[in-house]
Structure formats: C-alpha cells, structure tokens
Amino acid sequence: MNIEVFSLCDAATVDIGGKLNVLGAFDTIWTANIPVLYPQCAIAFRVRFENIEQGEHRVTVNFVDLDGKHILPGANGTIKIAFPDEQRSGSANLVFNIQMLKLENYGEYSIDLAVDSRKEASLPLFVRERK
C-alpha cells in the first residue's frame, strides 16, 4: 500500500471517471481571533494497493490537537479494492468534507490516517496569529 495523496484542502471531489480533484491545499490558517471558524474544507486522499492487497480495508481519519483531544469525531469507513488479476495495482480515492471547523487555540493540530488500524500518514495544521 502506498499513500499517493493525503491533503487538507479547500475542496475535493471524486468524479465519475474516478479522478480525485483537489483545490487549495493548505497547512496553515492565519487568524486574528480565537476561536477560528473555518467554514468549509476537506481531507482528500488516494491510496494505491498492490494486487495481493485486494479486498476490504478499514479507513480511519482522526483530527486531534497536540494533546490528542479530538477536534472532530473520527471518520470511519470501509473501502473495497478489486481489479483484474493481470493489473498490478489499483487505487481508491476518498474525500471527507468538513463544515464549520472550529479551532479553539493557536498552535498545531494533526490529521491522522489509519488503514486497517495501522497509522499510515499524518498531516499538520498550524493555526497562527495574524498581527
């Protein structure tokens, strides 16, 4: 398994043809006031699986502060990977949309991705004071 894309962005979609569309990837929110309310964003990812990894896989995304406190409830899902045996690998795209993200403090947050209960990737999000 290989994480090809894992991004916090303004918006993301998966079209009918299976293309992952990502708009406005970012890792920092600048704000003069806390708490900050971010109206719309998305977590997008694309995972590539090898032929021997076909089948169902559990996916979990957690958004936490540096103390491990959940900012949002964890997002859990299952993806089913299937492709022809002669094909060496296949991919899955997932998008988690977030509305009205409220961040209480300046500092660093973490978005953690686990597949089949194993941590595979982590993204930082920094909330910085605009002076």
For residue 93, what is the DSSP state?
A: E
pLDDT digits (tens, 9 = 90+) for 49-104: 999 999 999 999 999 998 999 999 989 989 999 888 888 999 999 999 999 999 99
Predicted local distance difference test score (pLDDT) of residue 16: 87
Could you tell me if 121 and 59 are in contact, meaning their C-beta atoms sit under 8 angstroms apart? no
CATH number for position 61: 2.60.40.2550
Return d(Cα 8, Cα 97) in angstroms, integer.
Answer: 10
* Mean pLDDT of the 14-33 span: 95
pLDDT tier, 19 (very low <50, low <70, confident <90, very high otherwise): very high
Q: Does residue 131 carry a pLDDT above 90?
A: no
Number of domains forming the structure of the chain = 1
CA distance linking residue 122 with residue 124, whole number of Å: 7
Q: Is the pLDDT of residue 26 over 90?
A: yes
Tokens of 54: 């076909």
Between CA 35 and CA 45, with CA 41 as vertex, the angle to 5 degrees is 130
Q: What domain range includes position 72? A: 2-129
What value does the mean pLDDT take over residues 14-19? Answer: 90
Listed in order, strand segments (DSSP E) in the chain are 2-14, 20-25, 28-31, 36-50, 55-65, 75-81, 89-103, 107-115, 118-129
pLDDT recorded at residue 18: 87
Nearest-5° angle of CA 28, CA 32, CA 35? 80
Q: What is the DSSP letter of 85?
A: T
On the CB side of 83, CA atoms within 13 Å amount to 15
The reported pTM is 0.90
pLDDT of residue 85: 81
pLDDT of residue 83: 87
